[in-house]
């Protein structure tokens, strides 16, 4: 079974979207671990490794995505866990998406994305690691 960690990095205090995505992924048959609010990149990566997840879904509304998302990808590389697929969503300007993908974020979902689009992405791009 594919395991996904849904995380809210940084100081963002709004988690409704993350909870909707977590529920949608669960309803689609994935095992989902939700970290809750205000997680550091280090805590997210450590939890992902401890929970042996296959993917990390990040939700951010604070505008810190250009710093936090690449930091998580880099920390995964440092801990030999770069096979964990990182994807994200939230209020992310279209012009920031190419740099995030270049940094190793597999996909970015912006406001209004259907939950089914996230489910389809996971089905097509995240494979169980073990």
In this prediction, residue 88 carries a pLDDT of 97
Buried/exposed code over 66-89 (b: 16+ C-beta within 10 A; e: otherwise): eebbbbbbebbeeeebeebbbbbb
**Looking at residues 52-68, what average pLDDT do you find?**
95
pLDDT band at 130 (very low <50, low <70, confident <90, very high): low
In this prediction, residue 70 carries a pLDDT of 98
Ordered by where they begin, the domains of the chain are 3-123 (3.40.50.280)
Q: Which residue has the higher pLDDT, 22 or 11?
A: 22
In this prediction, residue 69 carries a pLDDT of 98
Q: Confirm whether pTM is higher than 0.95.
A: yes
Token pair listed for 34: 């939700």
């Amino acid at each position: 079974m594919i395991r996904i960690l849904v995380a809210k990095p940084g100081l963002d205090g709004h988690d409704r979207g993350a909870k909707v995505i977590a529920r949608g992924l669960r309803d689609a048959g994935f095992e989902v671990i939700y970290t809750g609010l205000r997680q550091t990149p280090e805590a997210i990566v450590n939890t992902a490794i401890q929970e042996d997840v296959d993917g990390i879904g990040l939700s951010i509304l604070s505008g810190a995505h250009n710093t936090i998302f690449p930091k998580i990808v880099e920390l995964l590389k440092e801990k030999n866990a770069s096979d964990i697929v990182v994807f994200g969503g939230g209020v992310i300007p279209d012009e920031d998406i190419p740099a995030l993908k270049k940094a190793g974020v597999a996909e970015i979902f912006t406001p209004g994305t259907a939950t089914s689009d996230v489910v389809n992405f996971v089905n097509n791009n995240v494979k169980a690691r073990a």
